Amino acid sequence: MKVLVIGNGGREHALAWKLNESPSVDKIYLAKGNGGTSSFCENVDIDPSDIEGLLKFALKEKIDFTVVGPEDPLCMGIVDKFRENGLKIFGPNKECAKFEKSKEFTKIFLEKYNIPTAKYLSFTDYDKAINSLDKFSYPLVVKADGLCLGKGVLICENKEEAVDALDKIFKERVFGSEGDKVVIEEFLTGEEASLLCLVSNNKLYPLERAKDHKQIYDGDKGPNTGGVGTYSPVKASDELAKNLREVCDKIEEGFDKENLNYSGILFIGFMIEDDKPKVLEFNVRFGDPETEVLMPRLDSDLFELLNKTVDGELKEEDIVWKDDYCLTVIMCSGGYPASYEKGKVIEGIEDTDEDIIIFHNGTKLDKELLTNGGRVLSVTALGKTLKEAREKAYENVEKIHFDGAYYRKDIGTK
Ligand SMILES: Nc1ncnc2c1ncn2[C@@H]1O[C@H](COP(=O)(O)OP(=O)(O)O)[C@@H](O)[C@H]1O
Ligand SMILES: [Mg+2]
């Protein structure tokens, strides 16, 4: 089988790395890939959002199976386009990708199917939005409806900040047309968590859980990032497990009743308090960095899982996990998530232990290996305990060097 993976990050590196283990997979292409993927894949210089270019390539190379990493091509309808052309592809169609493309679309669905979520109102009109602000208590959350690279959510401590947020979105149009609509919602307290599910023929098959670390500094301080460390598994209490399953059942019911045909990954973001989960959002693709710890722990053949998912034939017993813990520390460029420099030489990867897996988030190979993003490398270790995985990961992080390298020291210590 010839497989095409679309995307450039650590998530796609991890997916390709796991697909490469499958006896069914002969060759993997990555569009565009990065400095770490060219050692076992063929990097193809086509942008993940260039749907026509990707289609032309897949037809010409007779690609048997395509896996989509990021949300942009999914929301643009790459899955529909590939299928119309007789190509097999893993991911939700354009209609289902609306769960990520529009926060309002998800809120309407959640409310309709009685799935716990924050109370909300949505607006296309600035004055109406302003007039509604007195209906909420503070803090409240203002969200641009569309895709905003993780920057479209503004938590407002008082009315003044809320007015500022609405000005930014509606008047200054900082998110362009992605801010044509705004969701204003109640602020939830608790602990954030996520659940990734394979979705086959509208049925949800949860993967084992992973804990992300979003803030840049130790102790969960500082600004949010794309995620700078993660570990798995995370055990749920019986009560929480039951409540999570109940949410999944209601989502399945909603998919069926809406006559959707959901297939691919559903990433459910939760706020959990007293074992009661409330849905914050849906994403329609694998999480990054969650994927970097889930792939090393997965015992099953990833290609078989994804192929069965697309065929609507996945079964719970197909998904088998190793008992091991897995932990990733992400080495970042100094300054991230604000501005940072690229092009720093990365040294020391060859000195790391043989059983350490290094997924590249943002690197490029230009004679030397260079940094090429805010998140640079995911240094990943398996261990019999969380402590063992953590110690192995950190021992090896210390062997890798580049100018300005920064990483959190407390991943998996909480
Ligand atoms: N209702 C809410 N209450 C408290 N925090 C929230 C709420 N909605 C979002 N957040 C915070 O904002 C972050 C981003 O919101 P989210 O809906 O996940 O949008 P996106 O990932 O598209 O930026 C969440 O991870 C969470 O930390
Ligand atoms: Mg989110």
Per residue in 21-67, pLDDT (tens digit) is 999 999 999 999 999 999 999 999 999 999 999 999 999 999 999 99
Ligand 1 within 6 A of 220 CB? Answer: no
Is 413 contained in some domain? no
In angstroms, the first-to-last Cα distance of the chain is 43
pLDDT, tens digit, 9 for 90 and up, residues 59-94: 999 999 999 999 999 999 999 999 999 999 999 999
212 lines ligand 1 (CB under 6 A): no
Retrieve residue 27's tokens: 């060759």
Q: What is the pLDDT of residues 153-168, one digit of tens each?
A: 999 999 999 999 999 9
Ligand 1: nearest atom to the Cα of 185? 1
The pLDDT value given to residue 206: 97
Lookup: tokens for 230: 């993660």
Q: Which amino acid is at 376?
A: V
| 65 assigned to some structural domain | yes
Same domain, residue pair 213 and 146 = no
**Alpha-carbon distance values, 291 to 50, 106, 122, 377 (Å):** 24, 23, 32, 14
Write the CATH number for 242: 3.30.470.20
For the chain, the average pLDDT equals: 97
Does residue 132 sit in the same domain as residue 241? Answer: no
> Do 134 and 203 lie in a common domain?
no
- Treating both helix axes as pointing N-terminal to C-terminal, what angle do 10-19 and 302-311 enclose, rounded to 10 degrees? 100
Mean pLDDT of 391-402: 98
Residue 97 lies in a domain: no
The domain total for the chain is 4
Last residue of a domain, one of 318, 345, 378: 318
Listed in sequence order, the DSSP H helices in 258-376 are 290-297, 302-311
CA distances to 27, 62, 78, 295 from 85, in Å: 21, 11, 11, 30
One domain for residues 56 and 141: no
- In the block, which residue shows the tokens 């609509």? 181
Q: Which of 318, 341, 359 is the last residue of a domain?
A: 318
* Same domain, yes or no: 338 and 242: no
The pLDDT tens digits of the residues spanning 229-282 come to 999 999 999 999 999 999 999 999 999 999 999 999 999 999 999 999 999 999
**Distance from the alpha carbon of residue 143 to the mean position of ligand 1, in angstroms:** 8
Q: Which residue has the tokens 């040294």?
A: 347
Cα distance between residue 48 and residue 73, in whole Å: 6
Ligand 1 centroid vs 170 CA: distance in angstroms? 19
Q: Does the residue 103 lie in any domain?
A: no
Cis amide bond preceding 337, omega within 30: yes
Which tokens sit at 150? 């993780």
| Domain extent at residue 375 | 325-397
- Output the pLDDT for position 236: 92
Read off the pLDDT band of 149 (50, 70, 90). Answer: confident
Tell whether 160 and 254 lie within a shared domain.
no
Tokens matching residue 189 = 């307290």
Tell me how far the alpha carbon of residue 52 lies from the centroid of ligand 1, in angstroms: 33
Same domain, 178 and 203: no
CATH of the domain at 347: 3.90.600.10
State whether 214 and 291 are in the same domain. yes
Pocket residue to mutate for ligand 1, from 71, 103, 141, 174, most atoms within 8 A of Cβ: 141
Please name the residues in contact with 230: beta carbons below 8 A apart, sequence gap of 6 or more: 210, 211, 212, 213, 289, 290, 292, 293, 327, 328, 411
- Give tens-digit pLDDT for 176-221: 999 999 999 999 999 999 999 999 999 999 999 999 999 999 999 9
Among the candidates 71, 90, 109, a domain finishes at 90
- Residue 96 covered by a domain: no
* DSSP per position, 191-234: EEEEEEEEEETTEEEEPPP-EE--EEETTTEEEE-S-SEEEE--
Question: What's the confidence (pLDDT) of residue 91?
Answer: 98
The secondary element (H helix, E strand) that includes residue 106 is helix 103-112
Q: Contact, 410 vs 390, CB < 8 A?
A: no
223 lines ligand 1 (CB under 6 A): no
Domain assignment present for 111: no
Is residue 403 situated within a structural domain? no
Residue 287 pLDDT > 90, yes or no? yes
295 with 197, same domain: the answer is yes
Structural domain contains residue 411: no
Asked if 393 and 380 count as a contact pair (C-beta separation under 8 A), the reply is: yes
Q: Quote the ligand 1 centre to 141 CA distance (angstroms).
A: 8
The pLDDT-based confidence of 173 (bands split at 50, 70, 90) is very high
pLDDT score of 314? 98
pLDDT score for 292: 98
Tell me which residue of 326, 375, 373, 368 sits closest to 207, measured CA to CA. Answer: 326
- Cα gap 23→33, rounded to integer Å: 22
Residue 150, pLDDT > 90, answer no
Q: Return the pLDDT at 414.
A: 80
- Contact, 244 vs 76, CB < 8 A? no
